[in-house]
Amino acid sequence: MAKGSMRRYDVQAKYAMFASIGALVGVAGLFVLIIRNFHKLEMAIVYGRSSMFAPAVFVITAVTLLLAGAAVLMGFNSAGQKRNEKNKQSWMAFFLGTASASLAIILFGAFWFYKLKI
């Protein structure tokens, strides 16, 4: 098999790790966007009607969930295989992917329930 083939389990572990790191970056971006527009007195996430805030939250959430899903699938597929030299990396990508998917869903839920258009 070729060195960069996705049929190799160590290559899947490497790409799963990249995907989980990308998902964590997406969660951090989502957190910054939501906290930046959160107003404590109104207990709401305030944004303008014509702003690109809501579409940005939707897109970042979707991309984060796609990356986290890819990390979970590739990490779980390559974990525990005999020919995988990076078994720990597979499990780490799997758990980071599940954690980032959970955090993205929680942050999106917070946005959805506390949003306030002005």
Residue 20 has pLDDT above 70, yes or no: yes
Residue 89 has pLDDT above 80, yes or no: yes
The more confident residue out of 109 and 12 is 109
The answer to whether residue 2 is domain-embedded is no
Residue 79 is part of which domain span? Answer: 9-36+44-117
The answer to whether residue 1 is domain-embedded is no
Dist CA 102 CA 26 (whole Å): 12
**How many domains does the structure of the chain reveal?**
1
Model pLDDT, residue 26: 98
Angle at 38 between CA 32 and CA 44, to 5 degrees: 140
Dist CA 6 CA 9 (whole Å): 7
Q: pLDDT tens across 45-54, in order? A: 999 999 999 9
Q: pLDDT tens across 95-117, in order? A: 999 999 999 999 999 999 999 99
Model pLDDT, residue 87: 82
State the amino acid at position 4 in one-letter form.
G
Residue 1 has pLDDT above 70, yes or no: no
